[in-house]
Amino acid sequence: MIKSYIKAISTHFPKKIRTNDSISEQFPEWNSEKILQKIGIKQRYIASEGECASDMATQALLNLLEEHHLEKSDIDFLLLCTQTPDHILPTTACIVQSKAGIPTTCAALDINQGCSGYIYGLSVANSLIASGNFKNVVLLTVDTYTKYIHPKDKGNLSLFGDAATATLISTSGEYLIKKPTLGSDGSGAENLIIRNGGTRKARNENPDDPDNFIDMKGGKIFNFIVKRTPEVVLGNLTLNQWEINEVDLFIFHQANTHILERVRQDMEIPSEKFVIEMLNFGNTVSSTIPIAFVEHQKNFPEKKKRKVQFVGFGVGYSWGAICIEQVKKS
């Protein structure tokens, strides 16, 4: 079977920033320090009005091409993961292909997945490479959750940010992609949902209708993550014949610092092997893992990271884990 590798990752953030101070101005009882202590976030990037998923994903893709000296003609598949597409149809990946000037010989496909989306996307890209039909797949992650937060929802206003990333998965590269573990449980769908806007229930013009916005039952999400994550982590390590103490770096979906610390402590993972990178970005949904990986490499270039495990979990419910192993230095 043809092996696949993570060859390069680039990121993009909107220009607009929402600080804790700006949130506390709107909610005086929710002061800046309280936000920082409770969820570990100081600021988050916010898509401006009229700035959509395709705009941000296109810029992440262009950053990838420029930063890593890639040719547009080399890309033969665009895989875009988002839950906030520009339109119900057409496919946002097709819009990005055109905006970025990628040749029309390139395939384009959207994946509707959230907090586990990067793991699902890597798994699909891995399979595309393994098929022998594609050599260079770009996985784009992008979400604009902030457009779906009720203006009076101080919790989600504090938690979520917007971002986009682009990952090149190829037949050669720095990190070998190993076997994934994926799962889902739709019985938890109601615990993180936007009820209006699909064919089940149309979005209406009432600006105060809570069903037009994100409804997250934080306690149930917390319990799901704390219960499910350890078995996913250990199961995926077993699948890849790794022991937990062999792993140099764990990068989980950056849901919030409280959840991450709880899982880390429950699993007795040393803090120096566990990445928390939310302070300046917030929860960017499917983009949190690649952002955390890029930032960690930038901030700690000397730190050993030969064996790395990515873990995602959240809306759906859905979850996944995947191991990557460094085979050559960048």
**Choice among 52, 253, 256, 296 that is catalytic:** 253
Closest residue by Cα to residue 294 from 112, 122, 64, 72: 64
**Choice among 81, 94, 106, 115 that is catalytic:** 115
Go through 186-224 and write b for each residue having 16 or more CB atoms within 10 A of its CB, e for each that does not. eebeebbebbbeeeeeeeeeeeeeeebbbbbebeebeeb
Residues in Cβ contact with 208 at an 8 Å cutoff, skipping those fewer than 6 apart: none
In the residue annotation, 115 being an active-site residue is answered as yes
The Cα–Cα gap between 36 and 88 comes to: 36
In the chain, which ranges are E strands?
A: 5-12, 16-19, 43-46, 77-81, 107-111, 136-143, 163-170, 175-184, 192-193, 215-216, 249-252, 307-314, 318-326
Provide the token pair at 172.
Answer: 């050669």
Amino acid found at 237: L
The Cα–Cα gap between 253 and 312 comes to: 5
Give the pairing type, strands 307-314 and 249-252. parallel
In the residue annotation, 81 being an active-site residue is answered as no
Provide the token pair at 11.
Answer: 């990121």
**Choice among 136, 191, 283, 323 that is catalytic:** 283
The Cα–Cα gap between 21 and 30 comes to: 9
The Cα–Cα gap between 290 and 23 comes to: 27
Active site residues: 115, 253, 283
